[in-house]
Chains A and B, each alone.
Chain A
Amino acid sequence: MHIIESGNVAAATGVKLSRAQVIAAYPITPQTPLTEKLSEFVESGELAAEYIPVESEHSAMAVCIAASSAGARAFTATSANGLLYMVEQLHWAVGARLPVVMCVANRGIGAPWTVWNDQQDTISQRDVGWIQLYCNDHQQIIDSVIKAFKLAQTVSIPVMVCYDGYLLSHTYMPFEQPEQGKVDAFLPAFAPKHFLDPENPGNFNTVTLPDVRLDVDGNMAPGYIEIRHNLQEDLRAALLTYENIDREFEKEFGRGGNPFIEEYKCADAEFVAVCIGSLSYQLRDVVDMMREDQVKIGVMGVQIYRPFPDEAIIRALAGKRCVIVFEKALSYGNQGALYADIKSALYSSERKPRIHNYILGLGGREIKTQHLVDALAKSCASPDTFGDSPRWIGLKLQE
């Protein structure tokens, strides 16, 4: 069934179809309509879940962590400072290997206060160990939420489903709502091997020593570093798991096939614009315009940022003349995080493209199509003389 709704409602509908059992959330713009919708689903009886209106985001993730530890499918959502307020808990959820799913409606971070879109909130959390999926439209939001629950419980790693605040969260688009029966077949119930159980007591997240240690039965138990090493290995292996889940989803629902990156007119392109999120669809218009002027250019959206899909990115970009990375986030004091990651991935390639970095749209600054055209034209005209520092688009600095 096709419906026309906001991105937040697409996310809420995905959560409902995934039969989340415990939902905890604290309101923050622009995530709020998502949790309002979920509370409505729960109060009306459409979704048989516990809805906990917690007193903070830190507590929202605490509820999810505890509920997941007890064997329930848990969900929360947030934005910007709310995400940062739960940072300690993000680390805890992944360290405890809990398949919590969280939507983040991307928003800039204070100070100064901003409620508008950029991606500094989630990009700054790239190192905590969560899987990060990014969406370009409402269909991807609802589909990604469902896939995220399956991925999270398959690999025992929490998943963030990220989408641009306002640009996607508050705009209305048509999208197909998957049938409940098909979602149930695709996403089996959460049945963890270990959970808080008086019949089989265990002590979870205990203080763990630097070295390995024998348990009471004489078996060697890992130390902290082994546990962390396993997380890294499992995160890397999650790429393949996600590819398989995406393929299965495509078979059932007819959508997917681009789990890592989404390419547009890249096959014969000499130049490729790269970004995360809805901007990649805006860039398609720019690419179409430039193609009319015989510029061989394409655009690539990055759909999963952690674990980093380096092989797919190398395959897509090695041998191109120039890669132009647009980012609504910055690793302050250095460069755009995505730019640095792509550069790093391409280091091992013998066919390294030139690579440029533009920062734009911070705090919701409007991204005008003409700005993108100008930036790309400049990069395409002189790919070899750009430098390694990011350039800023649309700045209005006082001379």
Chain B
Amino acid sequence: MEKATTILNLTEDEFVHSGNRACSGCGLSIVYRMGLKALGKNTILVVPPSCLTVLQGLYPVASTKLPCVNVTFASTGAAATGVRAAMRALKKANVNVVAWAGDGGTSDIGIQALSGACERGENIIYICYDNEAYMNTGVQRSGTTPQGVLTTTTPIKGKLQEKKDVPSIIAAHGIGYVATASAAYPLDLYDKVKKATTISGPRYIHVHTPCPPGWNFDPRYTIKVGKLAVKTGLFDLYEIENGVFKLTGASLHLLGKTRLPVSEYFATQGRFKSLDAESVAKVQKQVDAKWANY
């Protein structure tokens, strides 16, 4: 196994300009910065509508020092396919073609194009930053919004349905590399993106990405909230390489240890305030059952 990157040997290359349009405490800012560091200069980005569209700046100003094509909401997987096809046609090797989309753009409107790209075995990296709702349009529920969460389209009772498990759906396509990561563990994220660049074929990385305004917490707690999601066992860091599942990083360290109660995570965010004790107990039971299988 490769040695994990530390803050001491992390590359100093930066591909995101400071002073961009992200909110304070934005989890995506961390994820984007670390992801681009890992991808490096020879990268072409494909981005559908999302908070990233805004973070990247308004014409004629851009906050990303990499070539990027903004595409329609549903088309990300196919557009990345098109960039890669052009690279092959034009005999340009050694370019990372990277689709970078939010959870709505991935789990809902974009899943068909993504599934098509995975089934065809396209040589692309797809990064989904999951802030668990349509944040760019003002916090509407998405397929990956957890059960019970208050959003502007689930304003009173909270979302009735459970979170869609997108990494498992993508893994079911039998692609070579699926990983999860968290904005709160940037070096783990960096190493996974880096590893993805060394593999060919479709690669999918799903990144849990706290959102202060959308989740209703103070911007200074982005890392704390992100870490709690992992330490309570709600969001797990793992890799599925050639079909082999393994927990990684902070989640691996939890194996055989006592996890923090999920209620501790819920208490940090206003979006969970409609959850009653019974619902919290149900989630705790689900998490315990999931971990019993690890």
A and B interact physically: yes
Chain A contact residues, CB within 8 Å of chain B: 21-22, 24, 48-50, 52-56, 58-72, 74, 88-89, 92, 196-198, 200-209, 213-216, 221
Residue B256, interface by CB 8 Å: no
Contacts of A204 in B (CB 8 A): 67-70
Known contacts A196-B69, A204-B70; decide if A70 and B58 are in contact (CB<8 Å).
no
Binary interface encoding of chain B residues 68-88 relative to chain A, with 1 for a CB under 8 A from any of its CBs, else 0: 111110110111111101111
In the bound complex, what is the Cα–Cα distance between A59 and B69 (angstroms)? 15
CB <8 Å contact, A70 and B75: no
CB <8 Å contact, B58 and A69: no
Which residue in B53, B79, B95 is a CB contact (below 8 Å) of A65?
Answer: B79
Binary interface encoding of chain B residues 42-55 relative to chain A, with 1 for a CB under 8 A from any of its CBs, else 0: 11101000000110
Q: Pick 25 A–B contacts, CB within 8 A, sort by A.
A: A21-B89, A22-B82, A48-B89, A54-B81, A54-B116, A56-B112, A58-B72, A58-B113, A59-B78, A66-B82, A72-B89, A88-B72, A196-B86, A198-B42, A200-B67, A201-B67, A203-B56, A204-B69, A204-B70, A205-B69, A206-B62, A207-B58, A207-B59, A208-B59, A215-B60
CB <8 Å contact, B82 and A74: yes
CB <8 Å contact, A49 and B89: yes
In the bound complex, what is the Cα–Cα distance between A65 and B120 (angstroms)? 19
Point out which of B41, B66, B67, B77 has the most chain A C-beta atoms below 10 A from its C-beta: B67
The chain B residue with its CB closest to the CB of A203 is B62
Contacts of A216 in B (CB 8 A): 60-61
Which residue in A70, A89, A221 is a CB contact (below 8 Å) of B83?
Answer: A70
Contacts of B56 in A (CB 8 A): 203, 206
CB distance from A99 to the nearest CB of B (A): 13
CB <8 Å contact, A53 and B120: yes
Known contacts A58-B74, A203-B68; decide if A66 and B58 are in contact (CB<8 Å).
no
Contacts of A48 in B (CB 8 A): 89
The count of chain B contact residues (Cβ–Cβ below 8 Å) is: 45
CB distance from B197 to the nearest CB of A (A): 13
CB distance from B82 to the nearest CB of A (A): 3
CB <8 Å contact, A89 and B61: no
Contacts of B69 in A (CB 8 A): 66, 69-70, 196, 204-205
Which residue in A50, A53, A66, A201 is a CB contact (below 8 Å) of B46?
Answer: A66
Contacts of A71 in B (CB 8 A): 86, 90
| 20 extra A-B contacts, CB within 8 A, seeds A66-B86, A216-B60 | A21-B90, A22-B82, A24-B78, A24-B81, A48-B89, A56-B113, A59-B112, A62-B75, A63-B82, A65-B82, A66-B83, A67-B82, A67-B85, A67-B86, A70-B86, A74-B86, A203-B70, A205-B69, A206-B62, A207-B70
